[in-house]
A = this chain, B = another copy of it.
Amino acid sequence: MPRFPTTPDLDLLFSPRSVAIAGASTNVDSPGHDYVQAIKNQGFAGPIYPLNRSADEVAGLKAYPSLAEVPGQVDLVISCLPAGAVLDLAQQCGANGVRFLHLFTGRFSETGDEGAADLERQIAASAAAKGVRILGPNGMGLYHPAGGLSFRPDLPLTRGGIAFLSQSGNNAVEVITRGNARGLKFGKVANYGNGLDVTPGEMLRYLADDAETTVIGAYVEGVPDGRGFYEGLAAAAAKKPVIIHKAGRTKAGARSAASHTAALAGAAELWSTVLRQAGAHEARNQEQLLDLMLGAAMLPKAAGRNIAIVGGGGGRSVQSADAAEESGFTVVPLPDVVRERVRTKAPQLADWVGNPVDQSILAGSGLSSNGLLELMLESPSYDLAIANVGEDWFFGRPDAGERLKHACNRLAQVCEKSAKPVAVVLGATETNNREHRTLVDDVRDDFAARGIPVFASVERAAWTLGKLAG
């Protein structure tokens, strides 16, 4: 009997019709204020009920002394109460027909204290008896722009189809922030902490059938229900790309995971096998997770492993060829159609230029690496491409900004026109010239806004394309 014979009913968790915040606070430097402000900022469509015994309002919204005094039905309660007050809150939720209780509240089993673990079990039992489902405890909870939910007031308002499940809250914030900066638009995000009741497996199974969700990422330290996790994972991976970052792989990592989310972490090799069998992609760190999510969200699947590489100088070309071949690609020499085009414009280069296309060879010839990239993408010889911007070159020239922006815009047009995957490499974030930093930020933001994936190094671009090429 499968753990989830039908799609789990989590719609009201991610898209509640009404929300109450227990422990809502007038102190702007507290989570009890953050949640009210964050949900308000996201433009939540239904009523938001701050619960506070003494305040009249929190973050400009009318506050209520308790759940019982709220004038309408509440689908989701968010708890910022101390641990000792949660059992009572769970009972109130049961009495008032609340569907989901998210416990931001921590200091339960993750502390290693037996009394705290026992209280956690009592809360679970009390909620289960009345059909109240629990997210957490010890988790930031929900970020879902289309549903008007957020766990921090500063998170983006942009809506999209990237789902992300995270056992860790700070990791969720990092992934949302960095992903958004690179053009990822998030849908359903849940930081589930200790995973006491609603598990990542159940959420994966739900996301498998969720129409809004196109790509799924997850950060997992350990799973309470191995079989349920595998079933949810396999169901999701059968329908859409799923990328899993499994942490707590080492002894030290597992020990740290236990004190973080009370997770029982496991051996690295076993996890790699399980992920492969389930059809999911494995990320070994946050950088790989983001790179794979970006590639899966923005690029079509490559038809094969013949790669075109352009841009940057000779050193970059050599390093790009190494990275591509080491990621399982064939760096196919220039086909005649491209070489003949070079011959008509710059005969002296026709027998010299190769793949990778060394931009520095082309200087002054009237040819550009963007133009050759366009020809190469049109050729059946290539399945996909990597384009190095080589921004350092521009910074040594007059009118660096204008030239860089022009070249990047032209490159973006080539990417947009092609039905084949193209990864852009733009890496000089490490400069202490403020003007150059701003220029790089500008062109990178433009690529992100146009849905073109940018990688900070050719090695990361090649690795990502290699994993996604299947």
Contact = CB atoms under 8 A, between A and B. Distances in A.
Interface of A: 28-29, 34, 111-113, 152-154, 166-174, 177-178, 180-182, 219, 221, 247-253, 255-257, 259-261, 265, 285-287, 290, 312-326, 330-331, 351-354, 356, 358, 360, 390, 392-393, 395-398, 428-434, 437, 441, 445, 448, 457, 459
A354 B259 contact: yes
Contacts of A181: 430-432
Given A152-B396, A174-B315, A259-B353, 6 more contacts: A112-B351, A170-B316, A171-B313, A219-B315, A247-B315, A287-B459
A152 B358 CA distance: 20
Given A28-B398, A321-B255, A326-B249, A352 B314 contact: no
A409 to B, nearest CB: 19
Nearest to A460: B287
A354 B169 CA distance: 18
Contact of A392 (B174, B312, B459): B174
Nearest to A361: B259
Given A170-B390, A250-B322, A314-B170, A260 B398 contact: no
Given A319-B286, A351-B112, A154 B396 contact: yes
Q: Which 4 A-B pairs have the closest CB atoms?
A: A168-B315, A170-B313, A260-B314, A171-B315
Dominant secondary structure of chain A at its interface with chain B: helix
Given A170-B393, A287-B457, A252 B315 contact: no
B331 A252 contact: yes
Contacts of A312: 170
A459 B351 CA distance: 43
Contacts of A174: 315, 392, 428
A396 B351 contact: no
Copies in the complex: 2
A377 to B, nearest CB: 18
Contact of A428 (B178, B249, B287): B178
Contacts of A28: 398
B177 A428 contact: yes
Contacts of A286: 319, 457
B318 A221 contact: yes
Contacts of A166: 315
Contacts of A393: 170, 173
17 contacts: A111-B352, A112-B351, A152-B396, A168-B318, A174-B392, A177-B428, A177-B431, A178-B428, A181-B431, A181-B432, A247-B322, A249-B322, A250-B325, A252-B322, A256-B354, A286-B457, A429-B429
Nearest to A356: B256
Nearest to A172: B315
A170 B428 contact: no
Contacts of A255: 321, 331, 354
A468 B434 CA distance: 31
Contact of A315 (B169, B317, B331): B169
**A331, A352, A392, A445: most-surrounded residue (chain B CB, <10 A):** A392
Nearest to A323: B285
Nearest to A445: B432
Contacts of A395: 154, 177
Nearest to A457: B287
B252 A285 contact: no
A317 B219 CA distance: 13
Contact of A318 (B256, B318, B325): B256
